[in-house]
Chains A and B, each alone.
Chain A
């Protein structure tokens, strides 16, 4: 029972790291917004004086709102059905959520581009009914579709948690009190789900504010969002001042939402700790499963999983186009991938960076988790808040902030720079997952080990580590995938001799009609599947213990 003060030390490496890599740059961004090109409110005045900018700000908020509402409407029935089905079907439904979550954003966006093209599958399907073809990209339809798909998992999981924790007897009781089923649903289930609705909506809304890839690749100027404007100002026009001011405005919008959500009973804590890896197990509840609900959820499941799958057959096409289904098949694009120095280098870079990030983020995150949980102090909670910042602030803001200081420090286009930035994004995941495990850990087990003759370090290795190992492994996997899939910061940090796979995919998508992108996507999907399976295996081990 060493004093909790000792544990505070364990938080310090991660805290220091995030202070230097994220907080300091964010501070610099805020400063820049007031100081460049000259001290004052000039950048803000300019921002709000320009119709185009204000319009884009309003549009960004409206789009996020639209996505949130769409997600809520689609996610609720799906989450509700999850509480009704048996364990096996639940696993399938969870899988349908996890697969898109673990799939790289570039891959998913590219899949939508292929699906929604005028000759794509969606238009082909519409054609069967004599409709179309429609322009589904370059306008709001495609952007909304893709955004909603990406955000759905983040809405379903908190809803499911809330729904699953409701005592189903309440519904029976309500029925007994004379409410017909639908009324009982409205008067009992719905009010009890409010925390889940708030949590999910906040997560989706805040995440939607930072969208960059989807409007960039699927939208037109009429869908342009603030993130794109920020990237444009900073990376193309080099107006760090106004770009920073925009980032601050976006950040304030985010903060405002989070604060008001707190009033409604949600909290940043729920935001950070929503465990996207394994939705809490809950008893299967018996109840009627309306056919309409099953069909609806089936379609949702297909929308979640389907798009990325299209890329697998496409990678075997024989043509130099994205025509789907391909008219003939070949391995030529695989040959192209593996004989291209650019692609191979990008793949190697991604693997190397992700590997290093996994090690760094896991070490920092595990230490910090112990520090936060065991110090049980205000300092611990405060440190946790700092560590979660990179997950709460839209990534484009982090990217702009990190880019500005990394330029000066000479970290752009270096492995070190990539590893530092990606580690900052990955540490929060590790902390959320591992600290949940540490919380359930009995601290006296380590003391017991000492009383039995283990030195503190040996006790940690023989007792504590085996007990939290499944969570550490999950955290490490998530750290790996976070780095491996990261695009936005990477776009800023890339250099001619250091490009990652998503970066090369992103520029190829804009650059040429090249099914090699589908090959890269398929490889990423394969890797993600392996990781999901590994994760399930680790989790299973964990269940045996508890």
Chain B
């Protein structure tokens, strides 16, 4: 065989390696880089689902507890009790004013006889003014307590924690079906072995054109004939194989691109879910913190109201003393008209006592309510640590970062792994391979022609030549490819 012929064979082999290299590179991308990204994607999904599930559970608990408290909070009753108390305040202050004026008028008419009672009547007037101011203050304080609870109740309803809790659930994510199957590429990655071996066999068989007798000449002639027939068959098989690999690669790249697209889609969806959960969690944490501080403030308002009622209690003792002193003095001066004043004072004093008791009762109810809220929100605060704490926030941010990192990796990967690049490279190499192969066949034909020209009629007509031609052999691999293939596939 000529050097040019061997060079051609080497070029064909080189071309085979290039094509196999392309297939192997794609296999490498699919089995290593892609699998690693797929693993990261699955881990992000698992972490996100755990995180969202945990947040949903915590917020669900908090929302249930708070809603139970809200259901037991009867704002309408609080409002009517407050209105009733205000009405009683007005009635008592009017009674006291009336009493003081009534007493003053009556004692003035008594002259010297009523000098002591005149002094008492001035005390009643003074008391009336003090109690009026006190009751005004208590009205304001009770209104403040009412407003505080109203604010808390309205904000719990407005914040709609339970509604938000429902939105925390993650949409069921469709199972990611990976359709790109690398085994079909692996199966084709050693396609060249048989063709290389066939070329090698032909190369070896046509190694010499030298002969010493007609039989040898016939053997060489026969080998050429068989080799040329074989080359036609190899060329056809090679073309078919390349077309088949091209179709396999095209399908693989399509499914691979679809897989990549699906991972990108899933990563984007997960990120949006995480952002949504982060936003809802943030709102819930802020709402709960605001409510906690409002509930803390409500304790101060209740304290103020309690102090006001206690003060009123002390003042009521003074009034009781005034009633006693007035009754004694009225008995002493024995004035019939003033007796009715004493009766009125006793009645007012009773009303005042009743009011003070009622106010204490209301305060105790509000204090209970406040304690309930405090305890609920304290529990909520403890549970909220699992979603509001900065460490959790950083964990959530880490997860978000992972989704951005993965998308960046996928994007980079796509810029490296472009189907067009591989297909173009594959096409140009296979074109070159077929050209080289045709050249190989042409060269063999030329060599055969040259050899044939060396044979004269005497040799050609020699029986031994015919014998040698018939005895010539060329080992066949492609014809029994299935039996001879040493590669085990999946």
Asked if A pairs with B, the answer is no
